[in-house]
Structure 1
Amino acid sequence: MDIEVLILAQLMQGPKHGYEIKKNIIFVMSNSKIINNNTLYPKLKQFEERGLVNSKLELQERRPNRYVYSITSLGQETFHRCLTDFTIETIKSDDEWSIRLAYYELLDNATRQKLLTFRKTYMEEKITHLEQLSSVVGNGRDQIYSQELYFYTHSLIEREIELIQEMAHKLENK
């Protein structure tokens, strides 16, 4: 997953200090392992060197001073490029799919259509694979849970396909 998109997305909402960026990314992605200080601060420094963000030292009483980061116009362009630059392989990642869904409203209709098509294709491949796996695993004595796992996984995939179809239908009727 491209952590750059997540960091820049936070700054698209306005200036933030590092801890706030990290806290929001963890909240949005529901994953505390996705980012840490050893990832965030070097990336922010790199962004500043590349002209994607600016930093401003904020003086605080009775606390350590901190930097507040804001996105530049080049950073905004980079964010949009990262968001819209994907392949079917990229969209197979649940995190990458989730990021693009989180910022779906920022995508143009052609990019939305491409995103939905790629993910639907992948979900259909998963259904096919699941059905093939089911026929290989079968209902042997040692696979007591395989049938429950099959139905659970199948229902999740079907629900995602339904969601994609609903989104595609809305897109067609715009």
Structure 2
Amino acid sequence: MDIDILILAQLMQGPKHGYEIKKNILAVLNSQRMINNNSLYPKLKRFEEREMVSKTMEEQEKRPNRHVYAITETGRRFFLETIHHFSSDLIEADEEWNLRLAYYHFLDKPTRMRLLVFRRQALAAKRLRLEKLGRADRDADQPMFSRELSRYLQEMMVKEEEIIVRLQTELDPL
């Protein structure tokens, strides 16, 4: 998952100061992947240099002034092009699927359908791998993983498949 996209996605929602961007990204990532000031502000500076983001100074009463960042049209185009561009291999990765699903509302209808088809194919491949591992485990003296994990993964795939089918039906109700 590209932190750059998460930063720009925050700014697609409206202007924000750096701490707000960082706080929201950490909430989205559920603290699984850290972003700190040493990574955030150089990226914002690079975006500003590439004219993808503009920066203004906001005065605060009895507090230091702070910078507020806003996405430009160039940044908006870059963000949209990036989330619209993916391969079936990329969508196999849960992080990339989650990223596209998080910003699903920015995708056009054909891209949404392609995303759902790719993910459904990835789930089918994942299901086959899990079944193959299950068969190997039944023949092994020591299983590679517990039955509980296998059941959990199968149930998660069933639920994800249901969501994908629902989204596909919403796109093409016939």
After TM superposition, the score normalised by the length of structure 2 is: 0.92
User: Alpha-carbon deviations, 1:113-147, whole Å to 9, x = none?
Assistant: 11001111111110000000111122756449622
Shift of the 57–32 alpha-carbon distance from structure 1 to 2, 3 Å rule, reads farther
Distance 1:70 1:32 in 2: 26
In structure 1, runs of 5+ residues without a counterpart are: none
Alignment of 1:22-61 (within 5 A): 22-31=22-31, 33-61=33-61
After TM superposition, the score normalised by the length of structure 1 is: 0.92
The residue aligned with 1:104 is 104
Deviation at 1:51, TM superposition (A): 0.4
Distance 1:156 1:75 in 2: 35
User: Alpha-carbon deviations, 1:26-84, whole Å to 9, x = none?
Assistant: 11232252422222111100000000000012222332221100011111111101110
Identity %, equivalent residues: 47
The residue aligned with 2:133 is 133
The residue aligned with 1:92 is 92
The residue aligned with 2:122 is 122
What is the aligned length? 174
Alignment RMSD, CA only?
1.8
Distance 2:163 2:105 in 1: 16
Distance 1:79 1:16 in 2: 16
- Runs of 4+ aligned structure 1 residues displaced above 6 Å come to none
Distance 2:44 2:73 in 1: 16
Worse-superposed segment, 105-114 or 140-149 = 140-149
Shift of the 32–157 alpha-carbon distance from structure 1 to 2, 3 Å rule, reads closer
Distance 1:143 1:136 in 2: 8
Distance 2:117 2:61 in 1: 52
In structure 2, runs of 5+ residues without a counterpart are: none
The residue aligned with 2:10 is 10
